[in-house]
Amino acid sequence: MIVFPNAKINLGLHIMRRRADGFHDLETVFYPIPLHDALEAVPAPDGSFLFTMSGAELDITPENNSCAKAWSLMRQSFPDLPPVHLHLHKALPSGAGLGGGSADAAFTLVLLNRKFNLGATDTDLESMAAKLGSDCAFFIRNTPAFATGRGEVLEPVTLSLDRYRIAIVNPGIHVPTPWAFRQVTPDDNRPSLREMVGMPVPRWRSLLVNDFEKPLFAAHPEIGAVKDRLYAAGATYASMTGSGSTVFGLFDKEMKPSLSFPSHYFFRMLP
């Protein structure tokens, strides 16, 4: 059985407050996009769990990959879960604010549930996914959602970007998430993104803010320059996603923007 874990973008991201547990309360809107890894599960050849990878290299050991952690977590709830060989082909850039690792983990749970008819509900899977990462739960239902808490408290939103093409640009700059959070001053005294995202998309430029942009653009002007280029090419809205360093732009489908970036950039224009 094979599944295709997809990426997400953040439409606005507010850091609200620092919590007693060291995490931060935030609010954002997650939106799934058609940019994928590939994950396959087949019977284990020697009766023991095996995880392998191809594609883009990750700077972690196989046992620390989010897919392997998801399998271990699933087995805690289902001790009779048969061993499998999981193979991940990594196409999404890692540590890029696209949620690739979280999607891989969540899709592992979904894949195992389907393959072995475990009977776990979406609510069950969301609860397990939340233990693997702050935004993992989003990928269980994989539909637009307003997220609060650490990103695991989800409320469906009616939102479609079908009239737009989405440019995805990652300049290959690694941004450590803990460092990024330390650069932001929390602020919980402003209008909620829940209402802002309901405004017409052309108004988002003056409304939707990702709190990580200001400090990251100061530290890495190259990221801010990508956003400027997307607007210069005619984007209706452009923003960094997550804690960076990926930037996306929304272009009306009737447009044919002229965009080019250095060869080491990850650049995709989604239909």
pLDDT tens for 240-260 read: 999 989 999 999 999 989 999
Mean pLDDT value across the chain = 94
> What residues contact 125, with CB distance under 8 A and at least 6 apart?
106, 109, 110, 113, 140
Q: Look up residue 202 and give its two tokens.
A: 């052309």
Which positions are annotated as active-site residues? 8, 135
C-alpha distance from residue 164 to each of 91, 98, 196, 243 (Å):
23, 18, 18, 23
Question: CB 74: neighbour CB atoms within 10 A?
Answer: 20
User: What's the rounded Cα separation, in Å, for the pair 65 and 56?
Assistant: 13
Q: Which residues contact 83 (CB under 8 A, 6 or more apart)?
A: 44, 47, 48, 49, 50
- Given this model, what pLDDT does residue 73 score? 96
Residue 56 — pLDDT band, cuts 50, 70, 90? confident
Q: What's the gap between Cα 259 and its chain centre?
A: 24
CATH architecture of 164-270: 2-Layer Sandwich (3.30)
Band (261; pLDDT cuts 50, 70, 90):
very high
Which segments of 19-163 are extended strands (E)?
24-36, 38-43, 50-55, 84-90, 145-148, 153-156
Instruction: Provide the pLDDT for residue 63.
Output: 75
**Confidence class for position 80, pLDDT limits 50, 70, 90:** very high
Is it the case that residue 57 has pLDDT exceeding 80?
Answer: no
Split at pLDDT 50, 70, 90, the class of 23 is confident
Write 16-23 long-range contacts (CB < 8 A, 24+): 16/186, 16/187, 16/188, 17/186, 17/188, 18/186, 23/134, 23/150
* Spatial distance between the Cα atoms of 219 and 263, rounded to a whole number of angstroms: 22
In this prediction, residue 147 carries a pLDDT of 97
In this structure, are residues 236 and 253 in contact, taking their beta carbons and an 8 Å threshold? Answer: no
| Among 227, 217, 222, CA closest to 172 | 222
Backbone angles phi, psi at 124, to 5 degrees: -60, -45
Domains 2-156 and 164-270 equal at CATH topology level:
no
Classify burial at 260, counting beta carbons within 10 Å of its beta carbon; exposed 0-12, middle 13-18, buried 19 or more.
Answer: exposed
What gap in Å lies between CA 240 and CA 217, rounded to an integer?
10
CB 138 within 8 A of CB 185: no
pLDDT at 21 over 90: no
> For residue 61, is pLDDT > 80?
no
pLDDT for position 46: 81
32-59 average pLDDT score: 90
pLDDT exceeds 90 at position 26: yes
> What is the CATH T-level fold of the domain 2-156, as seen in this structure?
Ribosomal Protein S5; domain 2 (3.30.230)
In this predicted model, what pLDDT tens digit does every residue of 110-137 receive, in sequence order? 999 999 999 999 999 999 999 999 899 9
**Structural domain spans, the chain:** 2-156, 164-270
Q: Are strands 145-148 and 2-3 parallel, antiparallel or unpaired?
A: unpaired
Confidence of residue 199 (pLDDT cuts 50, 70, 90): very high
% residues pLDDT > 70 (the chain): 99
Q: What is the pTM of this model?
A: 0.94
| Lowest-confidence segment of 41-50, 124-133, 143-152, 154-163 by average pLDDT | 41-50
